[in-house]
Structure 1
């Protein structure tokens, strides 16, 4: 599907062929960034998945890596525009990792071997960035194995990660990547990357632990190929709760390095401000410095930092960590970080209930206002969202839709004819949900009847035009869904806890019903059951659940379940084992799930037929 999106985009993008989307390259004047004669300042976001998806978290998908589709890139840039962002920082050029599933695509497959399909996705990202007037900062190397980086270049040659900085073969391997990227001709715009002003700056890498000699050699090599773009030193000048690593002197002195950046995750806003001010003093007005990454502090703390940045001319801008976009199959991509104290996750515009604990709505509202303030503007009024796209479905009215940038919720509408008498059957339904599952199930429909459906997006400015219509859908069964958000859907339970946090291990599910040996859950749909699917995470290959069913006599009898295991080869994160238990051919409406060991259920679906 993603490849089809890309092919269609390439066929329809001749308008990009010769026109540059920006008149000027961004330049440096003292501590200022300049767009021609105008100062260029920004408050925006890190978008680590700009050109590469690491968050394909559908329950049954074992490979989390993919390339972005045209829809999700449009959604991203619309979102950034609405938030007042003028430039975004991507993550790095992905490198083949031994822990990746075999079928995963990447950019650098081996030394000097580059994946054309992957780079066409990057072509599309750059072309669309230009269309939406969003500039890019692109780091060229990752210090870490996430998405692939320095350790993986070393793996190619059977060498150690620390050899990367001094081994001539590894240095030349990386230079081959740099040369390929900078000299690549975008297949959509026809412009070489090194000649495209959409790119604001190259960064030598992300959080690099490099010696000065390596950074100076690579910086001079980059500038020998591309003197159009700014160059940022990617040294790991990072500030954590219990650790401070400062900007290096070579980064200040080396003339081929145009800008300095620091990363800030101190936890304390006051300590963060102190470190930022000290960095400005260390650089002494010789170069601009910006916050390449910062975050995981309160909204009040973020406001303190932004107010200082806006007032400090030596800092042209900041990138908040991090922003995620809509998924083309419904909902959003999601991502949590270990350094986020088990609390913070990626931000989703305009903010949702799941982000309430870290004040997502108010934080994004504040950030948007400040993003326009640093440009000397007042934030414009929120606009009505565009119409969403309802995705096809049949048999059961359980479905998803492609979300609209800036929509806070959706009204679900149903009609017997598709021409009139549209009834709203659900109001303000959020689309931030457990990744990979349908967003809504209509249990008010009648089995045997046919209906038409559509969706309307909404936000504080009003309602969108309706989506496309799906129908007629002949209803053959209904689906009761327990999203493990609370205890409302289950009929009865024993020893069950509602848990949240540690999201990554559960493929970003927000909450789950957790049980151990002796716990149980009962569901009662009071109707004949066609199928039951229970989606759960376990640590052992041994199955932790068993099942019983009962009729109106309430006498429960054992029933066998088919178990599907969706474990992944990916070992960069502490993924638990996703297992789906499926029961079918039942005649009764009561199901009991019995825990033989610890298991955490993120979703249960019961397909049933209502009685006449």
Structure 2
């Protein structure tokens, strides 16, 4: 799975330190055949793990905020920033550059979805790194439109003190392109030629050259000079010969002068690639999760130290993907503990999805999708994703350098938006839709027959898995003429026991009404704020003339916390 892998760190929570945006996993996933095998006992290697763990005086998130323009480097099997050791954890977000989910199908993701995913990962789940998709291109042309979308994702990551790992191609024949694309350009479906055909190799190198020399107007850096990019990955789950990996690594470092690290994208750990001096990181993916296997893979980075070879070369181990939903909570916890205690320097679960632009979530059906805060099912711990997500967050915080007794609180919610209201005389229902926001867990829907008074709770504890609420009483109360609707939202401290209210009003950015032959509906918007603000007469005129698009008015008032909907109904 994968596309660009963006690894990012954030000060807010320091929990997740990696997030991957990658290529989707094939149902026929297989590891590459091993090129050699080396088995050393866990107990023996465990004695050497302190070499990679280092001592952190600051959390990873704090260091990334302190040094936003410093490149992450490698000292043996340890990642470093400005002389301090760091560990990272997070999740994959493979669709961040090109999305296949939702309507109208394959399309570039909106800025809202990019921001929602990144801020959820950083502020709520504490991510410090992630992985994202490659830019689709043609043999002789670089796709600048796709590059602009990725530029925006990189800029958002930079704003959030996030570091990125970007894979350059994919082994699988998936919608966002990969090895098949390069081979098809040259009229062959033999994937081995991707590594052996000089013309195809040159095409791939030209693509790398254009990508690294692309200038991001939003960050003011060429990608080869962007500290936000932790590493370039040679490919996702590919099976190259070691010589090809060596050549591509050297080619990348000839462009970026070695400022950014290089991750071997070979699927399955190869001891031959561990001996390549130009490789900074190696990785493996886990479907299903395997605590013993991830421990053995991580400890290979200590092998050369153990045998005390004169030409000892150590590299960083990265658990690039794991299927976090498999098994019960204790199984996930055992895998996370194995990674933490055996010196894994970076890890990323598969995979994070955002809120939809209108309501609910942007859904994906591979069985490993994470929708924050997950669903709480007290009678079935196998499907209790909310507790598993809490474990992922705690693990990322520990990887970042927090101790169990110092984990930070959950952050204040973002600002949801009421996106649509429809009224239908055929069933006497008014339906309220809202777009969720980072950190929001539950919502209450209230109605009033007075101006901001006498609120009646219609329902409580609604989640973004619904994303809308239908009020069937409007038809029967139509003689009352006027209704006010309000949506309040809640943060979470412990989903199983209590909710922490952090705000009790919602801002309406856009409102649309479906007119029917039996309804005549007029809308009036009233702004409620806890502070004084000014709107010029000109802006008031715009507000009244363009009642269906208030974004430019709302954006000028940063402290608005309430925008009431008033519906006047005249029954015919």
3-state SS, counterpart of residue 114 of structure 1: coil
- Please, which of 258, 262, 266 is the counterpart of residue 288 of structure 2? 266
Uncovered stretches (5+) of structure 2, i.e. residues with no partner = 1-64, 306-312, 425-429, 492-498, 519-568
Distance between the aligned counterparts of 1:225 and 1:471, measured in 2? 50
Q: Could you tell me which residue of structure 2 aligns to residue 411 of structure 1?
A: 444
Shift of the 474–210 alpha-carbon distance from structure 1 to 2, 3 Å rule, reads closer
Q: Could you tell me which residue of structure 2 aligns to residue 464 of structure 1?
A: 503
Distance between the aligned counterparts of 1:20 and 1:140, measured in 2? 29
Uncovered stretches (5+) of structure 1, i.e. residues with no partner = 1-18, 96-107, 238-246, 338-343, 479-608
Tell me the TM-score normalized by structure 2: 0.68
Q: Could you tell me which residue of structure 1 aligns to residue 394 of structure 2?
A: 369
Tell me which of the two structures has the higher relative contact order, counting C-alpha pairs closer than 8 angstroms and 6 or more residues apart.
2
3-state SS, counterpart of residue 301 of structure 1: helix
Q: Could you tell me which residue of structure 2 aligns to residue 53 of structure 1?
A: 99
Distance between the aligned counterparts of 1:278 and 1:389, measured in 2? 48
Shift of the 402–471 alpha-carbon distance from structure 1 to 2, 3 Å rule, reads closer
Q: Could you tell me which residue of structure 2 aligns to residue 446 of structure 1?
A: 475
Judge conservation of contact 2:419–2:511 (CA < 8 Å) in 1: no
Q: Deviations over 1:354-375 (max 9, x none)?
A: 8964321111111211211222
3-state SS, counterpart of residue 441 of structure 1: strand
C-alpha root-mean-square deviation of aligned residues, in Å? 3.0
The CA deviation at 1:198 is: 0.7
Tell me the TM-score normalized by structure 1: 0.64
3-state SS, counterpart of residue 457 of structure 2: strand
2:267 maps to 1:232: no
Judge conservation of contact 1:390–1:400 (CA < 8 Å) in 2: yes
Judge conservation of contact 1:141–1:150 (CA < 8 Å) in 2: yes
Judge conservation of contact 1:94–1:149 (CA < 8 Å) in 2: no
Q: Deviations over 1:473-504 (max 9, x none)?
A: 698599xxxxxxxxxxxxxxxxxxxxxxxxxx
- Please, which of 82, 88, 93 is the counterpart of residue 42 of structure 1? 88
The CA deviation at 1:353 is: 4.7
Judge conservation of contact 1:21–1:131 (CA < 8 Å) in 2: no
Judge conservation of contact 2:292–2:338 (CA < 8 Å) in 1: no
3-state SS, counterpart of residue 358 of structure 1: coil
Judge conservation of contact 1:77–1:129 (CA < 8 Å) in 2: yes
Judge conservation of contact 2:135–2:143 (CA < 8 Å) in 1: no
Q: Deviations over 1:376-406 (max 9, x none)?
A: 2132112341331101334342242221212
3-state SS, counterpart of residue 507 of structure 2: coil
Distance between the aligned counterparts of 1:347 and 1:283, measured in 2? 37
Shift of the 259–472 alpha-carbon distance from structure 1 to 2, 3 Å rule, reads closer
The CA deviation at 1:233 is: 0.2
The CA deviation at 1:331 is: 1.4
The CA deviation at 1:274 is: 5.5
Judge conservation of contact 1:86–1:133 (CA < 8 Å) in 2: no
2:376 maps to 1:347: no
2:126 maps to 1:85: yes
User: 1:12-31 residue pairs with structure 2 within 5 A?
Assistant: 22-31=68-77
The CA deviation at 1:84 is: 4.6
Q: Could you tell me which residue of structure 1 aligns to residue 297 of structure 2?
A: 276
Q: Could you tell me which residue of structure 1 aligns to residue 563 of structure 2?
A: none
The CA deviation at 1:286 is: 1.2
User: 1:507-522 residue pairs with structure 2 within 5 A?
Assistant: none
Distance between the aligned counterparts of 1:292 and 1:74, measured in 2? 22
Aligned length: 426
Distance between the aligned counterparts of 2:272 and 2:87, measured in 1? 25
Q: Could you tell me which residue of structure 2 aligns to residue 198 of structure 1?
A: 228
The structure that is helix-richer by fraction is 2
Q: Deviations over 1:5-50 (max 9, x none)?
A: xxxxxxxxxxxxxx99813100001111001121111221111122
Judge conservation of contact 1:41–1:375 (CA < 8 Å) in 2: yes
Q: Could you tell me which residue of structure 2 aligns to residue 255 of structure 1?
A: 277
Distance between the aligned counterparts of 1:27 and 1:471, measured in 2? 49
2:337 maps to 1:291: no
Shift of the 446–301 alpha-carbon distance from structure 1 to 2, 3 Å rule, reads same
Shift of the 94–399 alpha-carbon distance from structure 1 to 2, 3 Å rule, reads farther
3-state SS, counterpart of residue 279 of structure 2: coil
Distance between the aligned counterparts of 2:512 and 2:128, measured in 1? 44
Q: Deviations over 1:56-88 (max 9, x none)?
A: 2x4xx4xx2121222222212221123453433
